[in-house]
Amino acid sequence: MAKIQAAAAAKIAEICDRHKDENTPLMMILSDIQNEYGYIPLEVQEIVSQKTGISVAEIYGVVTFYSFFSLVPKGKYIIGCCLGTACYVKGAQQVIDKFSEVLKIQPGETTEDGLFTIDALRCIGACGIAPAVSINGKVYPKMTVSQVTEVVAQYLIAEEKMKEGETL
């Protein structure tokens, strides 16, 4: 198995130590790793297992139980479509379907270029502006199907510009 770099391993160990005075801190450790690295692969879980004495299978079970934890890296832009009831009754399903169609991925998946991930979210509490879509924290209120292509295009254009900036 490919081992992660020593520096990263040390960092993971440090995160584990951060919570060593807490009772049963596994969830806290995993949350921190998820926040810092964006995902929790098996190699990382092995380190957590060594530090906490919890078996890898058990940690893996926890990671795959909670939707907040991911085993694979997510896209640069995470498109979170709220599918809470308020958004759903106002057409959120059509919006997320449209994102799927435009990006050619299903919710939960990441585009091949690593740019976009579509996430179906449980109610994010923005019911007043339903249907709500959040992209890397920026909220798009009252989203409509016809806006989807345009929103995606904005990010693609920004990305192109960034690339040009790099090559110039």
Partner 1 sequence: MSVLNIKIDGISCQAEEGMTILQAARANGYEIPSLCEFNNGECNRGSCRVCLVEATGARGLVASCVYPVSEGMEIKINSPKALEARRESVELLLSNHNQNCQQCDKNGRCELLHVAKLTGARDNMFVGVHTESHIDRLAPGLVRDTSKCILCGRCIERCKNAQGLGILGYENRGFNTFVSPAEDRSFQNSPCIQCGQCVNVCPTGALMEHSEIDKIDEAFKAGKHIIAQAAPAVRAALGEEFGYPVGTPVTGKMIAAMRRLGFERVYDVNFGADLTIMEEGTELLGRLQNGGVLPMITSCSPGWINYAEMNYSDLLPHLSSCKSPHQMQGAVIKSYWAEQNGLDPNDIFVVSVMPCVAKKYEKERDQEKVNGIPDVDAVITTRELARMIKRAGIMFNRLPDEDWDGDIMGDYTGAGVIFGVTGGVMEAALRTVYFKLTGQEKEDIVFTEVRGHDAGIREASLDINGTTVNVAIASGMRSAKILLDDIRAGKSKYHFIEIMGCPGGCINGGGQPYIRHCFLENEPDDILETYKERRAKALYSEDERQVLRQSHNNPQIIKLYEEFLGEPNSHKSHELLHTSYAAREGFR
Partner 2 sequence: MINSVEKLNENIAVCSKRLSDKLTGADGRRHIVLCGGTGCLSNNSKEIADKFRELLEEKGLFSKATVNQVGCFGFCSQGPFVKIYPEDTLYRLVSIDDVDEIIESDIINNKVVERLLYEEPSTGEKVSKQDDINFYKKQRRVALHGCGVIDPENINEALGEGAFKGLERALSMSRQEVIDEVLAAGLRGRGGAGFPTGRKWQFAYNSESDEKYVVCNGDEGDPGAFMDRSILEGNPLAVIEGMMIAGYAIGAQNGYFYVRAEYPIAVNRLKIAIMQAEELGLLGDNILGTEFSFRCHIRLGAGAFVCGEETALLNSIEGKRGMPRPRPPFPAVKGLWGKPTIINNVETLACIPYILRETAENFASVGTEKSKGTKVFALGGKVNNVGLVEVPMGTTLHELIYDIGGGIPNGKKFKAIQTGGPSGGCLTEEFLDEPIDFDNLVQKGSMMGSGGAIVMDEDNCMVDVAKFYMEFICDESCGKCSPCRIGTKRMLEILTRITEGSGTMEDLDALEELSRTVKNNSLCALGQTAANPIDSTLKHFRDEYIAHIVDKKCPSHVCKNLMEYYIDPDKCIGCGLCAKGCPVDCIKRTDYVAEGHKLASFAINSDACAKCGSCIGVCRLQAISKR
Question: What is the binding site for partner 2 (CB under 8 A)?
Answer: 22-28, 30-31, 34, 54, 58, 61-62, 65-69, 83-86, 88-91, 94, 97-98, 101, 121-130, 132, 134, 139, 141, 144-146
Of 66 and 89, the one with the shorter C-beta distance to partner 1 is: 66
Which residues are at the interface with partner 1 (CB under 8 A)?
A: 1, 42, 45-46, 54-61, 64-65, 67
Q: How far is the CB of 9 from partner 2 (least distance, A)?
A: 21
Choose the one of partner 1, partner 2, none that binds residue 2, judging by a C-beta under 5 to 8 angstroms depending on kind. Answer: none
Give the Cα separation of 69 and 150 in Å (integer). 30
Choose the one of partner 2, partner 1, none that binds residue 42, judging by a C-beta under 5 to 8 angstroms depending on kind. Answer: partner 1
- Write the CA distances from 81 to 18, 70, 75, 153, 161, integer angstroms: 33, 17, 15, 17, 26
Q: How far is the CB of 28 from partner 2 (least distance, A)?
A: 7
Of 144 and 154, the one with the shorter C-beta distance to partner 2 is: 144
Q: Contact 78/117 with Cβ under 8 angstroms?
A: yes
Q: How far is the CB of 108 from partner 1 (least distance, A)?
A: 12
Of 29 and 126, the one with the shorter C-beta distance to partner 1 is: 29
Centroid of chain to Cα 107: 11
Q: Contact 40/30 with Cβ under 8 angstroms?
A: yes
Give the Cα separation of 24 and 75 in Å (integer). 31
Intra-chain end-to-end CA distance of the chain, in Å: 39
Of 31 and 50, the one with the shorter C-beta distance to partner 1 is: 50
Of 3 and 141, the one with the shorter C-beta distance to partner 2 is: 141
Token pair 């976009």 in the structure block, residue: 116
Q: Name which of 98, 96, 118, 121 is nearest 108 in CA terms.
A: 118
Q: Contact 164/111 with Cβ under 8 angstroms?
A: no
Choose the one of partner 1, partner 2, none that binds residue 100, judging by a C-beta under 5 to 8 angstroms depending on kind. Answer: none
